[in-house]
Each structure stands twice: as C-alpha cells, then as structure tokens.
Amino acid sequence: MAPYRVLVVDDSPFMRKIFSDLIVQDPQFTIVATACNGIEAIEAVKKWKPDAVTLDLEMPELNGLDALQRIMIEQPTPVIMLSGISEENTRETIKALQLGAFDFIRKPMGAFSNDIVRVGELLLEKLRIAVLTKRYSTAVMDTDKKKASNNRDMPEQSRLAQPAKSAEEGNNRKRGLLQPEQQAEARDASAPALEKKTKPTGGLRNPVKPLTDGGGRPYGSAPGIPIAPVAAALEENKERKRFRHTDGFDQLIAIGTSTGGPRALHEVITSLPAQLAAPVLIVQHMPPKFTKSLAQRLDSFSELEVVEASQGDRLKAGVVYIAPGGHHMELAKDQSGYYVQLTQKPPRNGHRPSVDVLFESLTPFDELKRHAVIMTGMGSDGAKGMKALVDSGAESAIAESEQTCVVYGMPRSAIETGCVKTVLPLQQIAAELQHAVLKG
C-alpha cells in the first residue's frame, strides 16, 4: 500500500523541517507538500488532496483557524492542529476542535528540547488514527450513498420493514440497546437539529459548519460590534445562569470522551435546557490549560454554566463541571452534600483525567439516579467504569453510535461489555438525557 500523504503547514522553515522529519520516521507516511501560511495550505489541500494535514495556528496572511474553516468547507480532510501553550493558543485550539479539527498536539518547547521526541511519537499516533478514520469514513459514506439510492427505489412500507443490515445492528436489536419507541421519541425531539446538522460533505464523515451568530456570521467576525457591550452581556448571562442553580438534586449526568470530544460536547451541552435538574460531570482527555479554555468556550454558547472543576466545588443542578487536565475527578460527599474531589493518582488507561475513575466514583451513590454517557474517542477508557456503574443500578448508559463518532473506540469498548442500554447518534443524545432526567 502506498504511504499516506501528509501536508505540513507552518510559517517557520525550521518547524516545517522538524515536523517533516518526525513524520517520515514512520514509513507509512510521506510528506506530499509543505506550506508556510493559510493561503498556501488551502491551495495545497486542493492540489494534492492529502490524507492528513498538520496545521500551525499562528501564521501570516491567513492564520490556521481561518484556513481550517476553508479546508473543512472546500476539501474536508483530517487536520491536526499544532498549538502553543499560551492562553490565546489554548482558546484558539478549542475553537479549531469545535470547527472540525481532528485533534491537536502541543508544539515542542525549543529547538533542542527533550520534548521533541515525545511530541513526534504523539503526532505519529494521532496521524495513524486520523488517516484510518478518513479511509473508513469515505468507505462508509460510499456505502451509505448506495443504500440511500436503493431505499429511494423501494416503496415506503418496504423501507420501514427492512431487516437489520449488519451483524452489529442485529445484535443491538436483540440486546435491546435502543427500543423502537426510544428511537421515535429521540428522533422526534431532535428532528429540526438533524435536518440542519447531518448533511455529509466531502470525504470526512461528519464535517462541521462554522459556528455562527444569529445573523449567520461566524462568531468573532461580525463587524462594528463594540467589545464592551459584548463583555457586559456575557457577564450578565453568567449572573443569570448562577441565579438558577440549586443544591437540591437527586440525579446526575456523567460524560466521558476523547478524540472528537470538544465538538461532540458542544453539540450535547449547548442542546441541554437551562432548567436541567442535575449537575453534569465531564471527563475530556486533554492536557492542563486546555480544559479551562474548553470550559470557557462551552460556557459562552450554553444555557448552562460550564466551569473547569476545582477541588471542593459543591455540585449544583444546572452546572457543568469539566475535569481539569492532569487531575482525576471523582464524586465525593460529606454532611453538606456532594462535591468534586480532584486527585493526582496514577493515570488510568494512560489518561489523567480518566473516565473510568469518574464513573467508578459514582457507584456508591445509588441514592442518585445516575446517567452515564460515552462518546467519541480512542481506546477503551470508560468501558469498565460504565459496567461498574450499571451493575450498581445506574439509570442510563448511553453510547454514541458509530455513524457520528470521529473515533469509535471508547463507545465500542463500552458496548462490548454488554452494559450499554442505549446507542444514539450524537444529535439525539441531549434529547435522550433531557427525557431521562424529566422521567426521573
């Protein structure tokens, strides 16, 4: 098989050389071209149609974020962002992930840094997953098009009565992972969102449209809007959110995700209602500093308050707590109620924070109706924890379906344990959670 073709984009000739040398250490990859700014990157993607792109954030003429938006619209391709660790860089990286970047890595700290070898290993790991995901997604989309074409030629009753088309679909029906009435209910609840958000474009299975304001303009691009009124409005919105919080709750939502998670979390968290009668605990595999930017970004779009969790935070309904990078997050309780316990115990499944650690910490609290969700991500983190949680009487165990996952590893691992009760496409998860909490 021919090597996978990678486009390297960075305004620094030295960094282009560093990343190119790191990538070709694996014979699976070859450098098809390099580019020094966003304009060159867009043209190179059109010309060479690479299997993956590494894209710097800060570049002249057209920066990485603007180039990413154009690439995802014109020639969807797996993009790995190259990020610094400044506060501005972490904010821009989170935006990039929500706009469709496959993943990111932190750039090495210096020319002779011991960090370079580790960064290279991490980059190759992410590239391997990215190119396989693209190849699989393209094949699935071709299959979906054929199925859709065949279905259009069939009478409506025949389409509705079709048997399961795969072993997985058949097994899901037998195991009752998603009952017909649940499918109809969730589908009805989220039909308008599905019409807008699930149109396939290009080679990637789930390209993302740029997030827009009420006038259809990308956020941050609207001309003539003074900064001060916007800042005042955001502060007023925060105060309004805090006013709704309550210490009293008898339900709790816990979500675990990894690669593709920021985008998936945006879909779910921004679709949950302001009156949600449960706190939400989230583990997203991400380094320190980036989780804070993720929380700030989600908070600016959500009716719920979203925060990076701190040690001892008292849980309140209607608040979303994101585990800080570098720390495990657990649920704890004392005489005053439930609170966040952060630890630096050894990594689990190679991760800190770990989804397994969060889920397992919920098992003693069977007085709460617990709703667990596993979404897109590499590996198997969360599978054992979800199994333990279900065995302890959890109310809901939801996995994101393969069709909408960027990487299906974590949901698949959970499903294989037999503990998952419901499998849903990303766009229906918030509706299912809302229904579960209301029902409880």
Residues 83, 137, 190, 258: which is the catalytic one? 258
266: closest CA among 297, 287, 235?
Answer: 297
Q: How many other CB atoms are found less than 10 A from the CB of residue 411?
A: 28
SS3 state at 311:
coil
Q: How many other CB atoms are found less than 10 A from the CB of residue 346?
A: 8
Q: Running DSSP on this structure, what letter comes out for residue 144?
A: H
Which residue type, as a one-letter code, is found at position 290?
Answer: F
285 tagged catalytic: yes
CA atoms in the 13 A half-sphere facing the CB of 157: 0
250 tagged catalytic: no
Q: Is the previous residue joined to 192 through a cis bond, with omega within 30 degrees of 0?
A: no
The residue to which tokens 């210096």 are assigned:
110
264: closest CA among 205, 206, 326?
Answer: 206
Alpha helices (H) in 180-247, listed in sequence order: 180-197, 227-244
Q: What are the start-end ranges of the E strands in 197-352? A: 251-257, 280-284, 305-308, 319-322, 328-334, 337-343
Looking only at the bridges linking them, the beta strands covering 280-284 and 305-308 are unpaired
Q: How many other CB atoms are found less than 10 A from the CB of residue 189?
A: 16
Asked if 317 contacts 437 with a C-beta cutoff of 8 angstroms, the reply is no
Q: In this structure, what token pair is assigned to residue 75?
A: 């020639």
Q: How many other CB atoms are found less than 10 A from the CB of residue 175?
A: 13
Which residues, 6+ apart, have CB-to-CB distance to 317 below 8 Å? 245, 246, 247, 248, 249, 276, 277, 278, 279
Residues 266, 285, 327, 371: which is the catalytic one? 285
Residues 10, 381, 396, 413: which is the catalytic one? 381
Asked if 53 contacts 32 with a C-beta cutoff of 8 angstroms, the reply is no
Asked if 305 contacts 242 with a C-beta cutoff of 8 angstroms, the reply is yes
Asked if 278 contacts 254 with a C-beta cutoff of 8 angstroms, the reply is no
CA atoms in the 13 A half-sphere facing the CB of 103: 26
**Cα–Cα distance, 70 to 39 (Å, whole number):** 10
Which residue type, as a one-letter code, is found at position 158?
Answer: S
Catalytic residue numbers, as ranges: 258, 285, 381
